[in-house]
Structure 1
Amino acid sequence: MEQSSSCLIFLLIFCSSLSLVNSQEDSCENQISGLGFNFDTTSLKCFPVWDVQNFILRFTKASTDKWYFVLSYPYGINSWAAIGFSSDGKMVGSSALAVWVARPGVGGTQPYYLGGTSENEVDPNGSKLTFHNRSFKSIGTSRVYLSFVLETSAPEPYLLYAIGPKGSFPSQDNPTLSKHIDKVSTTMDYDKGTTSKSLTLKLKRSHGVLNIAGWSILMIIGAIIARHCKQWDPIWFYLHASIQTIGFVTGIVGILCGLALRKKISGSVTNHKNIGILIFVLGVLQVIALVLRPGKESKIRKYWNWYHRCLGCILIAFAVVNTLYGLHLGGEGSKWFAGYGTAVALLVIIAVILEIRKWMISKRSSPQHQVEHPIIPVPSHIPPLSSGSQSLVCPPWLKFLLAME
């Protein structure tokens, strides 16, 4: 009897533990009706909207002009989180609702109007939307649930999500919102109940990846081949020309994505765009230089080599700087900076190692470092060497001379 009771208690504890784990991790299979929200949550549609940060959105249409929303995110972000509604996918001009939990059960919510990209343009009193019955629930130190009622016939089709820097918590007395460190934009079809990443985000990522691969990575690899692989002539030239051509074409496609993206985003990117135009011009000049390359015996070949190398180095330098600046403007997280920085650093290390090797080979092959064998004069009284059955007698000094030969 006691053994059966022990097994029953263990089973109950085990089931409770599983339930607790599920509630901590959260998924669209979990029911949240027992968390005590201000409205009925049994009919909410559920969508994972930000996989990287594990954001889950639940919503339903309660009436012709009333919508229920519940946003769930990990407590461990240790900062504020926000959901915004935009008509065009842009952060500027949207209305958002932020929530923060400094410690379990202690936090707040605040609507904002995003009038610009700086902190003083984020107005805590200018939201164009009214978020009724807003509240938050924290499940220990695992999940935070933000609930609110939106009174509108049709919510905006673009939903924005963002998180702030670690340890950043607004307050009711000082609701200033620090600049986000990561964000994502999605589109929502409320009638069909489908969600997807917005075209703006796809264009932004395509613009960044193509330009990084074309103007930075491939151009650097092509330059390294031209500098250190000339012993494999003419393979090095065709490889160098092919890689640089692929990089040039990839970079142009990246620029076209950037021009399309410029029409869909707000904010000033003039400097980034101007540097991109300069990089494009330098790339065109390199292509023209390749077409007009003089022959090896030409007197101006030396000056052409100087021009081609210097222009290539300037192009790569501007490409690296503009890439870092573009990642900053795009608000990309540290993972993008770390990934790009690691790739460039690795290529630079390879280039430095090859440069040191080239210098050492050049130093060993220079005339002043070559060993000069002393010339030993042969005395005129060397006796002739006889042949036949008599063995040849070779003086020691002659053996040395023959060895030197």
Structure 2
Amino acid sequence: MNETIIRPNPSIVYMIFQLKTNQPSSKLIYSIGPNGVFPDTQGMLQQHSDAISTVIDYSQGETSEVSYLKLRRSHGVINMTSWSILMIMGYIIARHFKKWDPIWFYLHASIQTISFVAGTAGILIGYALSKKVDANVNNHKNIAIIILVLGILQVFAIILRPKPESKLRKYWNWYHHYIGRILIIFAIANTIYGLSLAKEGSKWFLAYGISIAILVIITIILEVRMWIVARRKTQSTNNSSHPQSLEFAYQT
């Protein structure tokens, strides 16, 4: 690079430069480093706070932006839909609709299977995306690995599910229920973290937040309803057993 003019603006940077080379590359990367971080002796930035790439067509004198926006948004939509939204729906069905046996089981199993398959695909898309854009998202990827491992543990739980009359069924229930809940918590946290990394704006946060809020409200309503029904059954049992004890005492 022989000549460079940078004119800052509150939100736009205008840059004019002249490049002299015998073998020009068709790909050009514009990158910005963090404050106080300067290029090394070879002119390379060790850290990027932002970057964009373009492809130059020298024969036509045109440039086109290389954007991974669609891939990035596909990764986000698939993961937020599968690991958190669908997983929560599957949890609600399993916990509150068991009276619709066996429909609830097939719905629960189908939804969670779709969630796992789609979520795994979303994670793979994310790994491919991180290599293409050379992004530093290690924490996001590490949490995704935890989520994937928890999902695999749930798959093993289904495969190794003991019969209802088995003594191990109680421990299996604990394992299956709590692993699922932990998975959902990690998924929601990582989705919010991923949206902040993507810097997509408030609309994505709002849409995801509303979706989760609706599911949480539905869960709370169903939990309260289940508690009320259980309390009524307990009171009914106590009331029906009390006269029997009096009658027994009287006969004695």
* TM bracket, shorter-chain basis: 0.7 to 0.9
SS of equivalent residue, structure 2 residue 232: helix
Structure with the higher fraction of residues in strand conformation: 1
The corresponding residue for 1:341 is 209
Give a deviation string over 1:372-404, Cα, whole Å, max 9, x none.
Answer: 485899xxxxxxxxxxxxxxxxxxxxxxxxxxx
Matched, 1:247 2:115: yes
Structure 1 counterpart of 2:132? 264
CA separation of 1:246/1:370 partners in 2, compared to 1, >3 Å: closer, same or farther?
same
The DSSP-based 3-state class of the residue aligned with 2:133 is coil
**1:333 Cα shift?**
0.7
Contact 2:162 2:168 in 1 (8 A): yes
Q: 1:220 aligns with which of 85, 88, 109?
A: 88
Counterpart position of 1:150: none
Q: Match of 1:281, SS?
A: helix
Match of residue 293 from structure 1: 161
CA displacement at 1:301 relative to structure 2: 0.7
Corresponding residue number in structure 1 for 2:104: 236
Q: Aligned letter for 2:128?
A: A
The structure with the largest helix share of the pair is 2
Instruction: For residue 368 of structure 1, report the CA deviation from its aligned partner.
Output: 6.1
Measure, in 2, the Cα distance between the counterparts of 1:83 and 1:196.
Answer: 16
> Match for residue 3 of structure 2?
none
Which residue is equivalent to 1:363? 231
Q: For 1:295 and 1:202, locate their aligned partners in 2 and report how far apart those are by CA, in whole Å.
A: 45
| CA-based RMSD | 3.4
Give the match for residue 80 of structure 1. 11
- Summarize deviations over 1:93-130 as a string: whole Å, max 9, x none: 615xxxxxxxxxxxxxxxxxx12xx444489xxx99xx
Structure 1: distance between partners of 2:168 and 2:155: 18
Following the alignment from structure 1 to structure 2, what is the Cα–Cα distance between the partners of residues 305 and 230? 14
Q: Does 1:94 align with 2:30?
A: yes
Distance 2:231 2:52 in 1: 55
Q: Distance in 1 between matches of 2:123 and 2:129?
A: 10
What are the Cα deviations for residues 263-313 of structure 1, in whole angstroms up to 9, with x where unaligned?
112342111111101100100010010111111111111110011000000
Q: Which residue of 2 aligns with 1:277?
A: 145
After superposition, the C-alpha distances for 1:25-84 in whole angstroms (9 at most, x for unaligned) are xxxxxxxxxxxxxxxxxxxxxxxxxxxxxxxxxxxxxxxxxxxxxxxxxxxxxx523578
Instruction: Give the alignment partner of residue 207 of structure 1, picking from 75, 82, 97.
Output: 75
* C-alpha spacing 1:336/1:303, structure 2 compared with 1 (3 Å): same
CA shift for structure 1 position 327: 0.9
TM-score by length of 1: 0.48
* Residue in 2 that maps onto 1:320: 188
- Separation in 2 of the partners of 1:341 and 1:184? 29
Comparing 262-271 with 317-326, which one deviates more in the overlay? Answer: 262-271
Cα deviations by residue, 1:302-341 (Å, 9 ceiling, x for unpaired)? 1100110000000000011111111111122111111111
Residue number in structure 2 paired with 1:354: 222
Task: Give the residue type in structure 1 aligned to 2:83.
Answer: W
Change (3 A) 1:343 1:187: farther
In structure 1, what residue type is equivalent to 2:215?
A: L
- Uncovered stretches (5+) of structure 2, i.e. residues with no partner: 1-9, 17-25, 248-252
* Change over 3 Å in CA distance of 1:189–1:204 after alignment to 2: farther
SS of 2:112's partner is helix
Instruction: Give the letter for the 1:320 counterpart.
Output: I
Q: How many residues align?
A: 221
CA contact (8 A) 1:364 1:370 kept: no
User: What CA distance in whole angstroms lies between the structure 2 residues aligned with 1:184 and 1:349?
Assistant: 41
Instruction: Note the C-alpha offset of 1:88.
Output: 6.0
After TM superposition, list the pairs within 5 Å mapping 1:385-396 onto structure 2: none
Work out which of the residue numbers 154, 170, 176 in structure 2 matches 1:308: 176
Higher relative contact order (CA 8 A, sep 6+): 2
Contact 1:184 / 1:201 at 8 angstroms: preserved in 2? no
Does the 8 Å CA contact 1:279/1:319 hold for their aligned counterparts? yes
Residue 194 of structure 1: how far off its partner (Å): 8.4
Residue identity over aligned pairs, in percent, reads: 54
- Rg: which structure is higher? 1
Q: What stretches of structure 1 of length at least 5 have no aligned partner?
A: 1-78, 96-113, 129-178, 378-405
